[in-house]
Amino acid sequence: MRESWRRSRDGLVGAEALPPLDLGGDAIDEYLRTHPLSGVIDMVRGLLLPGGPDESGVVVAVGDAAGRLLWVDGDRSVRALTGEMGFVPGANWSEAAVGTSAPGTALQLDRGVQIRGAEHFNRLVQPWSCTAAPVHDPETRRILGVIDVTGGVEAVSPQAQLLVDAAARAIEGELMVARLKARAAPSRARRTKPVRSTAVRSTLRVLARDRALLEVAGDGAETVTELGARHAEILLMLAVHRQGLSAERLGELVYGEADAKDTLRPELVRLRKHLERVAPHLVPASRPYRLTADLETDAHQLLSLLDRGAHRVALAAFHGDVLPTSHAPGVEEFRDVVRVALREALVAEASVDVLLSFADTAAGADDVELLRLCLSMLPPRSPKRAPLVARIERLEA
């Protein structure tokens, strides 16, 4: 592990950094569907979680060759705890991102590894132990991805290494069988198989931004465009209401008036002309007004993180409220939805450290109920209690 720590140090990996979320929302599902390991997920579940996820006491993950997790399952309580350190689908667990860890180090060394507690470079991961092994293309031996088992000390037993290594070899065998069956299929069926085109990924960034950023990536290129306040409000409402909106309803959400059609239409014309230049696939259709292509928002990605139990990562992604200076009724409503969802998820399941971090944001700064919950969760002799009591007293004065 010494060489792995040296690589982590030389790569300037943060000792308490959360893993970057490379894929979120629908993007991770689409990527998994097209990945070579997509067809073996049930096999992984059967081999490594045979008694059912909630009886396992561990979590099992499948990642790609770059260290990005594609799928995570296992014991619900363990998943909730590991989710706080960012062990969720879409997160990058390569050595370059989080330092020494079983998935990243197994990919780096191209062999099975076990990492015990304090051997992890990242201090957030040190309460856990894990075993991982790479999975190879059965013909070219190119690395396709990695499988990992994370939990307590039972996750790094000699039997665990044997099981994970055997699972990786079984997966490679299954891939070879599937490939031979495909080759035996009639050539006509192969010729008519549709070719998947490169997907365009579009993201609207609205958290803590008065003027949203529209990011479009595809075909090896990426563009970033800043939108005007009104265009950001309209595009956000179309992203939130995917089923479509009438002119009256869209006008009400943006302007606060149902009879704002005459004001809305010229703004939509200007938005369409702008999108035709920078993102033609996002030009809204009409009757009803709607988007015909996928548009993620960073706010929806945050909600997805909460659903996956990645509370600490979600909090790190919460830079601030949705379009904080907007007074559009629809934006204000969505802003409240995101803020309330974040608070309720943290209060219900997050650790006291995550709650205290939320209390340091603008959204939680004046939340006396939240502060009292943190106080009740702290040990009696914690040095954090006194300043917390003083803060509560100031707010209640």
DSSP 296-364: EEHHHHHHHHHHTT-HHHHHHH--S-BSTT---HHHHHHHHHHHHHHHHHHHHH--HHHHHHHHTSTTT
C-alpha torsion angle, residues 104, 73, 56, 87 (rounded to 10): 40
Contacts of 20 (CB under 8 A, 6+ apart): 91, 92, 97
- Strands 296-297 and 201-205 turn out to be parallel
Of 305, 310, 315, nearest in space to 355 by CA? 315
Which ranges of the chain would DSSP assign to H, the alpha helix? 2-10, 26-34, 41-48, 76-83, 95-98, 102-109, 158-184, 187-191, 229-240, 247-255, 261-278, 298-307, 311-317, 329-349, 352-359, 368-377, 385-396
CA 245 to each of CA 15, 48, 205, 323, 338: distance values in angstroms, whole numbers, following the listed order: 47, 46, 21, 20, 21
Q: Helix (H, G, I), strand (E, B), or coil: what is residue 12?
A: coil
CB 311 within 8 A of CB 83: yes
Locate 165 and state its tokens. Answer: 């290594």
Residue-range domains of the chain with CATH: 2-191 (3.30.450.40)
Question: How far apart are the two ends of the chain, measured CA to CA in Å?
Answer: 54
**Which residue has 């140090």 as its token pair?**
9
pTM of the complete model beyond 0.95: no
Let me know if 122 is exposed, middle or buried by CB neighbors in 10 A (0-12, 13-18, 19+). buried
Whole-number pLDDT of residue 282: 94
Q: In the predicted model, what is the mean pLDDT of the chain?
A: 88
Whole-number pLDDT of residue 250: 93
CB 302 within 8 A of CB 343: no
Q: Return the CA Rg of the chain.
A: 24
Whole-number pLDDT of residue 183: 76
Rounded distance, CA 361 to CA 373, Å? 16
Identify the segments of the chain with pLDDT beneath 50: 187-198
Rounded distance, CA 148 to CA 88, Å? 12
Please report, as a single letter, which amino acid is at residue 330: G
Rounded distance, CA 150 to CA 87, Å? 10
Positive or negative, the Cα torsion across 42, 46, 48, 54?
positive
* Angle in degrees, 0-180, between the axes of helices 352-359 and 329-349, rounded to the nearest 10: 150
Rounded distance, CA 346 to CA 366, Å? 16
Of 112, 115, 111, nearest in space to 98 by CA? 115
Rounded distance, CA 5 to CA 96, Å? 11
Whole-number pLDDT of residue 235: 96
